[in-house]
Every structure is written in C-alpha cells, then in structure tokens.
Chains A and B, each alone.
Chain A
C-alpha cells in the first residue's frame, strides 16, 4: 500500500482538533507553497513597502502553519482561495491592532497598513489598474496554471516527450502563431497526424490536471466547474 503525500484534505488541520495528522499538515503546507505568491501580491498592494509585504506574508504563513491561526475564517466551508485571503485579512487586522497598541505605549510608527479603509476593493493600483483582491485572484490563477503546466511538463518529460511538450504547449490554447502541425511534425520527425493527435491528447490531459489541482482547493468535486468559471471571471474584469 503506497502512501500518498496528499491523501488528506488540508482543512483537516483546522477541524481535526488535537489529532491532526501529519498528512493534513503536509497537504496544507503543499498548498501554501503553491499559493503563497498571490497573497504576497495582495500584501504588496495593501502596505507601503515591499519589505512590509514580505514580513506580513512570512509572518502569516508562520502563524497559519505553526499556530493554526485562521482568525474567524471557516476552513470547513468554502474554498481554499477564499479561506486563505480571509485568514490573511484577519491576520493583518490583528497585526494592525498590535501595532496600534505599540504606538500608544512605545511611541513607534505603526506598520503602515492601509487599514482605515478596511475594504480595499475600491483602491486601484494605478500601475496595472487592479485592486488588491483582483491582483490576488489573478496571481492565484497564474499560480494554479503554473502548477498545472509544471505537472504536464514533468509528465511529458517523464514519458520521454519533453520535446513534444515544448513544441506543442502553444497548441493547448491555439496560440501557435504561424507554426503548423506539419512544421512541428517535420521538426519532431513524426507524422502530421501523430502530432495532431498528440496535441489533442495533451490538451485533454491539461484539462484533467487543471481539475485535479483545483480539486485540492475546493471541498467537493461538484465545486470544480464553478471554481473554474469563477476564476475565469476574475480574469475578465
């Protein structure tokens, strides 16, 4: 019986009480490794300096992974994407309270979170026209797709089809410029029909992997389609 590293759902870390399995922790830690960057992108837009954003992000993951800090974010309901952001917002609020208390006592500058407007939805970063929440979602999608394509590439290389992946990845989205199947067939020394078949197989596999990755972040398989649609919408804004 092989033991799988990701055999347990991440939320078990917060719901299982005392007997938290190391697998659940591992599942949560794996997800954090994939999705920490979106939070950082969010943090960068909420605080004055990159330093502070780094500190906040690091401190948050420490609290999350070591002290199971989630604020009042509910790990049982909803998706990892929303859960992580909510927990992070609670964490920022907590930090801000702490800094405020410090300022009273120690005469230090509080960390310059843009907190007076607790909801930053309407603060748009002029450089890319995105709110912090939008940036979070956008980077989330990028992290998710990056992870999916990484796996697809590893699989291809493992099966000795690394070259095919490199040549055909653009075909996943129909973005291949002037290149045709025939040209790639020539480069890879295959028949055009085989290349075409390979491209369509790769595309199907990509979809499957995407669903598997999303499955790690939602609470049920029925939510996968909905999450895809919701992620797609975040890119349309």
Chain B
C-alpha cells in the first residue's frame, strides 16, 4: 500500500501510519454509526473489566496443575506482559523462577515457532551474569469464565535471591563505588550475549538483578525482541514502532525496531550507569555526571561515550566500557570523593583562593579589634563605608560566579546577593556622604573607629570563608 493514498471510500488522504492501512476517518465514522445499534453491555465498556484482553493472570492452583514437577509458591513480580512466580523444582529440590509470558502477539500462529527459536537461543546462553534458562514451553490453560483455552508461554529460570537494581536504587542503598562493581559485570554479560548474537533490547534497572553476594544477573535477554512482533506485519498498526515505555531506549530504537543492533544495549547501559551515579536519567542537554553528583570528572567521558546519540560514536563493544571502567577504578581515584569525616557524600574541598583571602581578612581584622579597644580613631564612617563598598561587589561577583560553576539548576546564592547588594549600596552611600556633607554625619561617631573596621573585617572574612566552603557543596537541585 502506497504511503500517500487516498481513502477510496471518503477520499481523505491517508496518513502514512494509517492503522491496518484503513482510513482513520472511516473507522471513526463506523464507530459513530453504531450509536443507535449494538449498545455494548456496561460490563464490556467499564474500564475496570476487560475479559477479552486476555491479559489476566492464571491463579496459582490452575497453574500448579499444569506443572506437576513444580511446587509453585508465590507471585514475585508482574508486568504488562506476564508474571514471575517463585517455585521449587521437586525432584532437584532447587528454587526456580517460573516466568509466564502472554505477549500481545501470542495468538499469532507464527509466535509459537518464533518463541521456540528464541527460547532455544536464550537457553544456550550460559554466563555467570545472565539468569539461566532451564526450560521453556507452552501450556494451554482453560479460562474459568469462558471455558476457552488460551496458550501461555513459560520460562523456567534460575532463581535469584536478591533484589533488582530499581529496588536498590529506590532504597538509596547504592554507593557509587558499588555502582562501579556492577557496571563491569553488566558489560561481561552483554559482551558474552552480543558475541552469541543476542541483543537484550530492554536493559533497565528492573532487569538487572543483584543477588545477596553482590553478583549481577541480567534477566529477560532477548525477550523484548520476542514480544515486539518482529516477524509480523508491522504495517498493521503503524503504532507498534516501539514496545515499552521509552526511557532507557537508544535513539535509533525509538525510531524503529529494524536497524537496532547490540549498540542499543550499550546506550541503555549508559542510561543505567548515569542513573546509578546521579540518581537521574540523562535527557535533553543533560550535564555530565560530575556536575550532578560527587563523581570524579574522569567518569564523564565513559558515561557520555555510552550515551552518544549516533551508534557509531558510542563504544562499539561492551568490553571496551568494562576495560575503561576498570582502568579508572584501579587508577586509585574512586568515582566519588568519599568524604573522610562526615560521610554525607558531599565534596568538602574548599576553594583555596577564597579561603586564603577570607583568612587574611580575618587575621587582620581580629588583632585590629583587640587593638581598637585601647586606641581611639575618629574616621569610622569612612573606613566602614570603604570596607562595605569593597566587600559588597566582591560578594556579588562570587555569588554570581558560583551559579555558573555549580551544577545546572543551581540558583545564585540569593541570600548572599541581597546582603552584599545592600552592603555595597550602604557603603557607596556613606563614603561620598563623608565628603559631601562634611561632618554632617559625624555626630553618629562612636569613640573608636578600629572597633568598626575590625568587626567589619572579621565578619567579612568569616563570611568569605563560609561562601567558599558552601560553594563547593554539590547541590541537590
């Protein structure tokens, strides 16, 4: 069917992705016509019930009768496509995971064949970082309501006693040094699978399991391909370009499923890596990890290279990512400057220049204060004003400079700005007033100018120190 055909019925120009090649307008028209006929039963249209969608899960008893060798314990996870149960393989007395899948295309006659082909490939994958497939097959389950039987496909898999990366991330338990032990293991698994010609296509934290010993196990290899209607008529809906929520997907994967290779996995790995280091996902003009979190700059290059939009500019092999990650881990610098005392993960290296400046001011100021207690000087306003006039703009500059150096989204120190502006305005007002008004304001003369100068310098110095210190804290935007 040509891409710019007209509808033979209504003459409208068909959009390129017209569903099933049919005219959307006519299809809606048919929907409209039915208004006075075929009023559906309330059950059929209530958003709460959808029997025909055949996505409902079988209960454990029904399922158990189909798997006499298994003792099925409980549902441990479910998604849009199926569910995972924990079970015990009676004869071998081992824990297993039973994954039931019910993809959209399961009723398609070609699916069974495709399932068998893919599942055999997956069962051949044998790697310590990949969840092993013990067995696979299909079972026909009778639906309790309609009596119709429907086919479910299953995988019997290695049971992983642990958590998935999403759960770990959400619990906030992931230290960045641990992230660096996870990434190479993912790389190993990916490299092995890629060498075997298997692309995962759906790398995301939910599919990355970590067992109690910290070993990474990747689940659902190739399942995305199996369920994405690869072999079926894509022109049917035109809306099936991509399966799933496009969050970890490589750009080329969003565009189409056809020209996706193993480098899409490398991109997804990059997204996971970025998320592990920063807690955020890299979208838009995202910042390198070091600007979002206390991460050493050397990691930026690795992460950004996995996240290149053009597949050919990315790492070409998962093993390359691994060797770079390991090389950097070994070269002493941990990705995060782990705080030595407070342990709150913030970067405590203060800006040396500011600190010296502030320190000198304080060192001058404090002896002056002491001196002032015994001396009498009479030009308070001049010194005070001068001090404020200099310190004020300086504070402004610093406050502004920080906002460009700090992570994106950080505002200038608004408090510092307001204070500094006020200080400089007052200062600039007072200094000329001394000359313009003569001694007009001198009646406000406390006995000892040194007190004022010293207090000003001491406060100002401390203030600078604080700014310098504070500016180095990574901001939670």
With A107-B404, A173-B9: A232-B25 Cβ-Cβ less than 8 Å: yes
Size class of the B contact interface (CB-based, 8 Å)? 35 or more
The CA of A104 and the CA of B409, in the complex, are separated in Å by: 10
* Beyond A32-B245, A173-B29, 8 additional pairs, beta carbon < 8 A: A4-B49, A6-B47, A105-B406, A142-B15, A147-B239, A208-B44, A210-B31, A235-B24
> Is B285 positioned at the interface, with any CB of A under 8 Å from its CB?
yes
Chain A minimum-CB-distance residue to B57? A3
Which A62-107 residues have a C-beta within 8 angstroms of B? 62, 65, 95, 98-99, 101-102, 104-107
Using a CB–CB distance below 8 Å, which chain B residues touch chain A?
Answer: 7-9, 12, 15, 17-20, 22-32, 34-35, 38, 40, 42, 44-59, 78-80, 104-105, 107-109, 143-145, 150, 236-241, 243-247, 249, 251, 254, 281, 283-285, 309, 403-404, 406, 408-412
Chain A stretch 32-62: residues in CB contact (< 8 A) with chain B:
32-34, 36-37, 51-52, 54-59, 61-62
Neighbour of B30 across the interface among A4, A150, A203, CB < 8 A: A203
- Report how many residues on chain A are interfacial, defined by Cβ distance under 8 Å: 86
| A3-27 residues at the B interface, CB under 8 angstroms | 3-9, 22, 26
- CA–CA, A209 to B104, complex, Å? 15
Interface check A224, CB cutoff 8 A: yes
Distance in angstroms between the alpha carbons of A105 and B412 in the assembled complex: 8
The smallest C-beta distance from A146 to any residue of chain B, in angstroms, reads 3
Taken together as a complex, chains A and B put the C-alpha atoms of A18 and B59 apart, in Å, by 28
- Chain A residues whose CB sits within 8 angstroms of the CB of B30 once the complex forms: 172-173, 203, 206-207
Q: Which residues of B contact A155 (CB under 8 A)?
A: 52, 107
**In the bound complex, do residue B55 and residue A4 qualify as a contact, i.e. CB atoms below 8 Å apart?**
yes
Q: With A142-B15, A169-B22 as given contacts, are A36 and B246 in contact (CB-CB < 8 Å)?
A: yes
Q: What is the bound-complex CA distance between A153 and B236, given in angstroms? A: 9
Could you give 9 example pairs across A and B, Cβ below 8 Å? A26-B80, A29-B80, A36-B246, A61-B246, A145-B19, A204-B38, A208-B38, A210-B31, A235-B24
B46 touches A221 (CB 8 A): yes
B-side contacts of A58, CB under 8 Å: 246-247, 249, 254, 281, 283
List of A residues within 8 angstroms of B309 by Cβ: 51
* B454 CB to nearest A CB, Å: 35
- Interface SS majority for chain A: helix
Interface-lining segment among A117-125, A181-189, A211-219: A211-219
- Contact between A54 and B251, CB atoms less than 8 A apart: yes
A126 contacts chain B at the CB level, 8 A cutoff: no
B19-A146 in contact (CB<8A): yes
Contacts of B44 in A (CB 8 A): 208, 211-212
> What 1/0 mask marks residues of chain A from 171 to 194 whose CB sits below 8 Å from any chain B CB?
011110100000000000000000
B408-A106 in contact (CB<8A):
yes
- CB <8 Å contact, A146 and B238: yes
A111 within 8 A of B: yes
10 smallest beta-carbon distances between A and B, as pairs: A146-B237, A59-B283, A173-B26, A146-B239, A158-B107, A146-B19, A105-B403, A207-B34, A145-B19, A5-B55
Q: Judging by beta carbons under 8 Å apart, are B40 and A145 in contact?
A: no
Which B residues are CB-close (under 8 A) to A105?
403-404, 406, 408, 410-412
* A119→B246 CA distance, assembly (Å): 26
**Residues of chain B within 8 A of A8, CB atoms compared:** 48
Least Cβ distance of B40 to chain A in Å?
5
Whether A207 pairs with B22 at a CB distance below 8 angstroms is: no
Contact present for A138 and B15 (CB under 8 Å): yes
